Structures are given as C-alpha cells and as structure tokens.
Amino acid sequence: DPLRVCDAALPLPERPEPMSPLLEVAQISTIPSSEFIAALGGCYEKSPWVAERAHAAAPFASLAALASALREAVDGATDAERLALLRSHPDLAGKAALAGELTSESTAEQCHAGLSSLSADELARFTKLNEAYTARFGFPFILAVRNANKATIFAAFERRVTNSAAAELAEAVAQVHKIAWMRLNELVRPNPTGFLTCHVLDTARGCPAAGMRIELKRRVESSNGGGDSWAEVGSFLTNEDGRIVGGAGPQDGGGGRG
C-alpha cells in the first residue's frame, strides 16, 4: 500500500515540536567557524561547505547579508561543486522519502507540501516524472515546496522537464537558494527594522475613520510545547486622518507611524 508506506516514512505531526530560540544576526556573526557550520550547515542540503565558506564574510550586518554570503559561496563554487549540491537533494516523494532517509529539513518540507499523503496513482506519477527529469538533466527535480501543494508541484514538474539544460540548471540553483532562504529564516532572526503603518478608512462614509482603537500584538512562541500566546505591544487611537501617530518602535517588536 504506497499510501501507508509513505505516511509511515514522512510523519507529519499536528503540531511540530518546539524549535530552539532563533539566533540573532549579531550572535551568528561572532561564533567560531565550527559553531557556525553546525548552526547553518543544513541550509544547503547535505553541503556544510557552503556555511564554512560563508563564515569568512562575517560579521553580517543583517539576515539578508548573511543569506548573500551563503549564496555567494555557492555561486563562487566550481561547476562540479554546484552539481554535487544539486545531486544532494532528494527526489520528491522518491525512494529516500519512502525509506525514511531524508534530512529533517527535507522531511518537514515534503510533509508540508502534502507529499506524505499520496495516492497510489500520485506516487506512480511522481516516480515517472522523477525518472524522466533525472534522465534528462542528470540531477533531481528541485523545487521549494514548503508553501506549495501537489497540484503546483506537478505543474512545475511538467513545465520544467521540457526546459533546455542551461535554463533548467539555472532554475534548479535558484530553487536551491530559495530553499536555503526559507531554512535560514527558521534559524536566524532578522534585525528589527522598519515600522508598521496604519490608515483606516470608513468606506460607508467615504472618509478617514477617526477615533478608532487599534491594538498591536506580537505572537509569542511557547517554549514548553503549549499553545502560543499574544503579547500586547501597544494600543492606539486613529487621528482625524485615520492614522496612528508615534507608537511602538522596532525595539518593541512593532510600531505605528502616520
């Protein structure tokens, strides 16, 4: 029964186990190379050499700068190294998934995309597409599937299998970078920058909504596996232009400015 085997290989709990607290960019910028690699080595599938080379660019001014250093390590690698990186990725719903041999990152991503609940026909379709794609390009089909579903994955698969070799190599590398960015965001917290704006309009009267109370809250992740909570950052009243003026700044986790 392919469905039963796939479900067993890719378990998707109703609620994931609580993650460790996110690292700060400033913290990542100062840790030794060995700790840097241990923390970020999984961003690029089974390729800790990417993090090892990116560490040389520390310190990092922002999460974007950190991601850029990782990206540049890949883009500056040899063709053989980039090909090995692509080949480190597993097939979607492939043999490694069925055998429970995926990395924890790939397991979570494929589960979120619904690949742990395939029918026998869907599994057969994935197998056929995987084989055709790999035979054509020499590396597995790679797609950032965390926010995708089976329909979008199949559509991308069937579209890209007809690409030229050069176009598909570029697309595969771009998808690798996208996957790495998503993984990085689960490990490192971006610097608190920018602000939130608010402009409320009374559509019934066709004018700004003055005197409306706005509450700004921040989601607080549970550290013991319980439900998340919401912490109030501030409470504001809109002015005669329907805006909030002043308010919480980035240091408080949010903000409001007119």
d(CA 101, CA 90): 9
d(CA 48, CA 144): 19
Tokens coding 108: 């979570």
Beta bridge partners of 120: none
C-alpha closest to that of 179 among 133, 112, 127:
112
Among 89, 112, 177, 199, which one carries the catalytic annotation? 89
199: annotated active-site residue: no
SS3 96: helix
Instruction: Pick left, alpha or beta for residue 46 (phi over 0 → left; psi -120 to 50 → alpha; otherwise beta).
Output: left
Tokens coding 179: 């996957």
H-run or E-run covering 130: helix 120-137
SS3 255: coil
DSSP 59: S
Active site residues: 89
